[in-house]
Structure 1
Amino acid sequence: MRILWYWSLPVAVLAWELTTRSAQAVFFPPPSQIVVRLHEMWFSGPPSRAFLTDEAIADLLPSLARLFAGWAMACAAGVLAGVALGRSNRLAALVEPLLHFGRSVPPSTLLPVFLVLFKIGTPMELASIVYGVIWPVLINSMDGARHVDRQYIETGTVYRLSAWQRLTRVILPAAAPKIFAGLRLSVSLALIMMVISELVGSSEGLGHRMLEAQSKFDIPAMWAGIVLLGLLGIALNAAFLGVERTVLSWHHSVRNGATR
């Protein structure tokens, strides 16, 4: 099965290449043209700059900076609010209906509101990313903190742990698997919201570059942006999985031991 998985991508790319060349569709260039355009736009710079071109520095770096800043703010706020709501039934009863209402509103529909509040620029893009990312983190953190095993809490009470020690040594470690599940979902959402916000309210960034390529009918450049977004998504997911395995190594070892 693993051999088939390794060969599936080259076969799919080859099929894409042959199909698009035979069809000669203007809006669906072959992968070879997309790769060439991708290299020309962003990765044909000097070795001293890690082969990044001026366009890469002007597009990728601001986009990644906004992505990581918005994701970090949303994760910090989501974890703090989620744990607080998960440990307080009274507070959750008051706030939870608003949470379900807020997460039901598609983030893209609020872009005009963010434009009015923050104008075009980085604050508007950060607000869009934070709003789109915070919900899975908050809901998973709340669920994880709410369902901490009662025996863990009672053990902390027996050992007379302070409220801070109970939070950092009992509640957060017990809720960590759920929290990391929300954080993993939020990574892809942050990438999506970064592009959407740049398509609407930015004069720089990867989303703006794709919109500019579309307006100029530079179809290979537009597809190069799409491919680059997919590669970024794969890289971010792989990096996050590596961090998750390191931080939750104790959880994976316990789970593997229980399944044996």
Structure 2
Amino acid sequence: MNRRLINWTLGVGTPLLLVTAWWVLSENSTNTFFPPLSATLERFQALWLFDHFGSDVMLSLRNLVIGYALATVIGVGLGFATALVPVARWALDPLIHFLRGIPPVALVPIFISLIGFGLEMRLVSITLAAVFPTLIATVDGIRSVDSTLKDVSAVYRLSRGEKLAQVYLPAAGPQIASGMQVSLQVAFIVMIASEMLGSSQGIGAMTLLAQQSFMTSDMWAGILLLGVIGFGANLVFEVIKNKVLAWYVGSKRLARS
């Protein structure tokens, strides 16, 4: 219990300490590119809680959620097919290893050329960039399932659907969740990049416009918002993962104690 309390205190105290240091160091700043934190927070409130919340913040969050959800469904589905169906493995393995080596942000200019600057480009960019961590983690998780579990499922004559739901998915679940968490981070990065390169709306586009217009308080407010969203998304994912994989989290805690 004491260890958990210390970890929680560090997790909360470190960001508070950094924000306090930022406030103190920038309080009397006259540097155009490093405005006081108080001015940044004023612009944060004006921009992101009122003026641009519906038009830009919700748009970015919608693209992130839709793109990430599609990437998860495609990644898990193709991962199961690649790991369990020999024909799919032979057909998809070379393509997966080729595409995974391309930096996710590098895909954005390609989709701008092929699709244009619309909503479809942003969703396709987020989805295809975020699909690979989940896909690869699913393939590795399925392939690493203990052979004893496979033998037991064969003895009990489980159907293919029962094997997937009761054997493969629970056994590979922790590894799939790890891949999904990486995919979430990739989706967030590509969401910002697609807005900066190919959109006039969204948090990324507004932050870039502020930088180009030398509106530094607005730029810092956008960066602050992106940090808050990234931190919040990862926190929500951790909570859901710990609920869904409670048995796995509990076994790890017991092993450490």
State TM-score, norm by structure 2: 0.91
Structure 1 SS opposite 2:52: helix
- Whether 1:165 and 2:162 are equivalent positions in the alignment is yes
1:66 aligned to which of 59, 63, 78:
63
Which consecutive unaligned segments of at least 5 residues does structure 1 have? 44-52
2:178 aligned to which of 181, 184, 189:
181
Q: Output one character per residue of 1:173-201: Cα deviation in whole Å (capped at 9) or x when no partner.
A: 11100000011111121111111000111
- Whether 1:8 and 2:14 are equivalent positions in the alignment is yes
Structure 2 SS opposite 1:109: helix
Q: Aligned in 2, Cα 1:219/1:8: closer, same or farther, shift over 3 Å?
A: same
The aligned counterpart of 1:47 is none
Q: Percent identity?
A: 36
How far apart in 2 are the matches of 1:133 and 1:113?
A: 16
- Whether 1:87 and 2:84 are equivalent positions in the alignment is yes
1:39 aligned to which of 25, 33, 45:
45
- Whether 1:200 and 2:206 are equivalent positions in the alignment is no
Q: Does the CA-based 8 Å contact 2:141-2:176 persist in structure 1?
A: yes
- Whether 1:226 and 2:232 are equivalent positions in the alignment is no
Q: After superposition, where does 1:106-185 map in structure 2 within 5 Å?
A: 106-185=103-182
How far apart in 2 are the matches of 1:77 and 1:122?
A: 19
How far apart in 2 are the matches of 1:235 and 1:132?
A: 21
1:27 aligned to which of 12, 27, 33:
33
Aligned-pair distance for 1:225?
Answer: 0.7
- Whether 1:17 and 2:23 are equivalent positions in the alignment is yes
Q: Output one character per residue of 1:107-151: Cα deviation in whole Å (capped at 9) or x when no partner.
A: 222222201221111100011101221111011011001111111
Q: Aligned in 2, Cα 1:5/1:248: closer, same or farther, shift over 3 Å?
A: closer
The aligned counterpart of 2:241 is 244
How far apart in 1 are the matches of 2:202 and 2:112?
A: 17
How far apart in 1 are the matches of 2:47 and 2:19?
A: 21
- Using the TM superposition, name which of 82-91 and 118-127 deviates more: 82-91
- Using the TM superposition, name which of 104-113 and 129-138 deviates more: 104-113
How far apart in 1 are the matches of 2:204 and 2:55?
A: 12
- Using the TM superposition, name which of 146-155 and 104-113 deviates more: 104-113
The aligned counterpart of 1:50 is none
Aligned-pair distance for 1:68?
Answer: 0.3
Tell me the C-alpha RMSD between the 2 structures.
1.9
How far apart in 2 are the matches of 1:259 and 1:20?
A: 42
State TM-score, norm by structure 1: 0.90
How far apart in 1 are the matches of 2:234 and 2:58?
A: 18
Q: Which runs of 4+ in 1 moved over 6 A?
A: none
- Using the TM superposition, name which of 70-79 and 32-41 deviates more: 32-41
Q: Output one character per residue of 1:191-250: Cα deviation in whole Å (capped at 9) or x when no partner.
A: 111110001111211111112212221111111111101101111111111110111112
Structure 2 SS opposite 1:104: coil
